[in-house]
Structure 1
Amino acid sequence: MNLEWLKGIYVPILTPMKEDESVDFEKLRKQVNFIIDGGVHGILAHGSNSEFYMFEDDDYEEIFKVILEEVAGRVPVIMGIGAIRTSKCVKLAKLAERLGADAVAILQPMFLKPTDEELYYHFKTIADSVKELPTLLYNNPRIGYTLSSDLVERLARDVRNIVGIKDSSGDINQLLEFIRKTRDLKFKAFGGKDTLLYSSLNIGAVGGVCTTANIFPELVTSIYNTYVDGDLKESLELQFELNPVRMSMDKASFPVATKDMANINGMDVGKPIKPNHASPSGVVESMRKEMAKAGLLKG
């Protein structure tokens, strides 16, 4: 399984919406081209910032088909899978395979408190259903628990097409353990915290899945590109440039800030899907100020 393409900056692409809460496919296509033109190395469709949990099956499929069509092979596209039921995840994995996804990324089940044995069966069953499709684990503590390093190591060793992980824990020690325990395998770890991209690369991550690359793709990709080019000082300075902007998003509710910041910069991606609402004016102004300080505010 050739995985040379599995590295760099991947974007958990946002989903533009119309006033009636239908998907704005024209703007979705525009977003695809904006981030590719900005230099990203790949796209994660149906990541947590895409509001994937808000969509019915038909929209879920159509969104992915439109992204694939607009990308037209220019960068790899990974389908995120976040269903709770194992059989539903299998169905989505097979959909991804049929539509031509380059990989799938499986979020741990929400609301539950499964044991490692239950999680092992869950991830293995999904991966085994699409044996030739590269499969990534997606560790997100927003679910209420994190994947253990022992579980990740076991899956990486036992299941041939489980080839990597996106770790959004923000815990550099946990990411380090994922990397340490799988370092003798062809297993690739991505940092999922924009503010820790430089740090993640320093401990062996192959890239990052960064929501701010929806809005500032050139800046985010430059952190990675300068790092792999060996200019560590410049990479760190670019990380310092991004961090206050990214941290200003924490004042907003999840996942509202991504659309807030995109709209501040004139991208007109619509509102978050209810029950979420756009952030209050004070939160928006705080983000605007940090963007202006960093020279990232258009106009």
Structure 2
Amino acid sequence: MGTRKIQQLLTYKVCNMDGSKIRGIICAILTPFTRNGKNIDHDKLHKLVDFLLEKGCHGLFVGGTTGEGLILSLEERKELLESVLKVAGKKCMVIAHTGTFDLRSTIELTAHAVEKKAFAVGIVTPGYYYYDEEALFQYYSTIAKEFPRFPILLYNIPSCARNFLSNTLILRLAKKHPNIVGVKDSTGNMVNLSELLTSKPVGFAVINGVDEYGYQAFLAGVQGAVSGTANVAPEFYLGVYENCMKRRLPEAWIYQTQLTKLCQILQYGRNLGLFKYALKLRGIDTGYVRPPHREPTALEKKEIEKHLKQLNLI
């Protein structure tokens, strides 16, 4: 993308630079595919969006880990975002995950998200290679400088992306770049999360990314969650969130125990085929996964059905 095009995109004035507006339950939406993962199935995608919004989700996180974003081509990721925005862009927050393993591609996807008027972007750390803190600081700084008027959510998931964003680095980036408005914390480290919550600047969003810690994270002070499990049972996580916000803690804990059980059933996101089969049992056909993900076995399907019945989801 040329310099002139970038400058044109920078004239897009956003009103959501304050990270405090990123809150609630944001579903890390699945990507439905046709058989063998060949193409995005847009009809099924739109039905899933409708289901999630009808259930009350406050936003959608597009092309992330649960959405198989890193095994889509750049053009497919653009296509996916445009498809979701077509249905949901005026109804909820649509946050585009634009992180890749190289800077140029991340800038390209971020420019597209800006052009199409996503609510914000989430950017995972580059992976495979190990990068030290200075390299990561330069990486995010370069992106933030390219899009100074557009909100960026850091995405910290070292279990998948290898590289870890320390609280020191997160705060350094937030101080340097006002458009870095928050972080999706998928580290699963509650001590680290609590320390960040006590030291973050006002207006900086800390969003939980580990579903089994939702209750604890809300009590610690996070303002929202990006959840893959919310695809299957958004009512569970919404129950945790809404009851925590109203300080109805016994009710919130009941929903959290159901949510945690569902996380266990879905193998904590290690097999996305289980998510899609579970949704099919709930009447929402989300198609197939893309290889090297695999479809569930007959035994796995039987177990999913049994457990969903126990949770009164079917």
User: What is the CA RMSD across the aligned residues, in angstroms?
Assistant: 1.6
The answer as to whether partners of 1:135 and 1:163 remain within 8 angstroms in 2 is: yes
Structure 1 residue 214 corresponds to structure 2 residue 231: yes
The answer as to whether partners of 2:44 and 2:287 remain within 8 angstroms in 1 is: no
Partner of 1:232: 249
5+ residue gaps, structure 1, are none
The answer as to whether partners of 1:32 and 1:70 remain within 8 angstroms in 2 is: yes
Structure 1 residue 93 corresponds to structure 2 residue 104: no
C-alpha spacing 1:279/1:59, structure 2 compared with 1 (3 Å): same
CA distance in 2, matches of 1:3, 1:160: 10
Quote how far apart the aligned CAs of 1:282 are.
Answer: 2.7
Quote how far apart the aligned CAs of 1:256 are.
Answer: 3.3
**TM-score after normalising by structure 1:** 0.94
Structure 1 residue 290 corresponds to structure 2 residue 307: yes
Q: How does 1:1-299 map to 2 (within 5 A)?
A: 1-19=17-35, 21-141=38-158, 142-182=160-200, 184-250=201-267, 253-297=270-314
CA distance in 2, matches of 1:201, 1:257: 27
C-alpha spacing 1:287/1:98, structure 2 compared with 1 (3 Å): same
CA offsets, 1:110-166, max 9 Å, x none?
101000000001111112211111110001121223211111111111111111111
**TM-score after normalising by structure 2:** 0.89
CA distance in 2, matches of 1:283, 1:147: 35
The answer as to whether partners of 1:168 and 1:192 remain within 8 angstroms in 2 is: yes
Of all paired residues, the percent bearing the same amino acid is 27
Quote how far apart the aligned CAs of 1:252 are.
Answer: 7.1
CA offsets, 1:250-298, max 9 Å, x none?
177343332232233332211210122112233333332222111112x
Partner of 2:5: none
5+ residue gaps, structure 2, are 1-16
CA distance in 1, matches of 2:175, 2:268: 40
Quote how far apart the aligned CAs of 1:4 are.
Answer: 4.6
Quote how far apart the aligned CAs of 1:3 are.
Answer: 4.2
CA distance in 2, matches of 1:254, 1:166: 21
Quote how far apart the aligned CAs of 1:19 are.
Answer: 1.4
CA distance in 2, matches of 1:255, 1:61: 21
Equivalent position SS for 1:176: helix
Task: Say which is worse superposed, 223-232 or 42-51, in terms of deviation.
Answer: 223-232
Quote how far apart the aligned CAs of 1:5 are.
Answer: 2.9
The answer as to whether partners of 2:228 and 2:269 remain within 8 angstroms in 1 is: no
Task: Say which is worse superposed, 211-220 or 7-16, in terms of deviation.
Answer: 211-220
AA matched with 1:202 = L
The answer as to whether partners of 1:120 and 1:151 remain within 8 angstroms in 2 is: yes
AA matched with 2:233 = F
AA matched with 1:168 = S
